[in-house]
């Protein structure tokens, strides 16, 4: 479990239009002591990110209306220091290459190893800047 003082004020945002995945990731992160804010619409997250400091975001790539790649591109403009972890259920080498070029700190295929995912979130939070 993470050190609570280390997590204080550091929020992990999760963006996925699949509610079951969103709830699962929220529960996983919260059970590890992370402060979590979940969004099932990318536009809602982008609105939040434009008004609040977001140290780390976990985003799906394939979502309706706004893709995770669009989230990454827009996030670079509104919050360039936000650390990004990308998750996807669909293996798409072009999407992976594009995402990695934009600069996420980790990339996971669903279903992913919980321990490795938690470690990536901890690492991203430790490197995030306010």
Contacts of 1 (CB under 8 A, 6+ apart): 32, 33
List, for residues 80-122, the tens digit of each pLDDT value. 888 989 888 777 666 666 666 666 678 888 888 999 999 999 9
Domain 4-127 matching CATH 3.40.50.2300: the answer reads yes
List, for residues 39-56, the tens digit of each pLDDT value. 999 999 999 999 999 999
Distance CA(25)–CA(47), nearest Å, equals: 21
Q: Name the pTM for this structure.
A: 0.84
């Amino acid at each position: 479990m993470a050190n609570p003082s280390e997590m204080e004020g550091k929020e992990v945002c999760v963006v996925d239009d699949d509610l079951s995945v969103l709830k699962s990731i929220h529960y996983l992160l919260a059970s590890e002591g992370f402060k979590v804010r979940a969004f099932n619409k990318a536009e809602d997250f982008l609105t939040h990110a434009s008004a609040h400091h977001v140290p780390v975001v976990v985003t799906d790539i394939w979502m309706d209306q706004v893709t995770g790649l669009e989230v990454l591109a827009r996030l670079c403009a509104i919050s360039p220091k936000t650390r990004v972890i990308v998750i996807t259920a669909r293996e798409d080498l072009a999407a992976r290459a594009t995402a990695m070029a934009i600069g996420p700190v980790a990339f996971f295929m669903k279903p992913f190893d919980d321990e490795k995912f938690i470690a990536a979130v901890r690492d991203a939070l430790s490197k995030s800047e306010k």
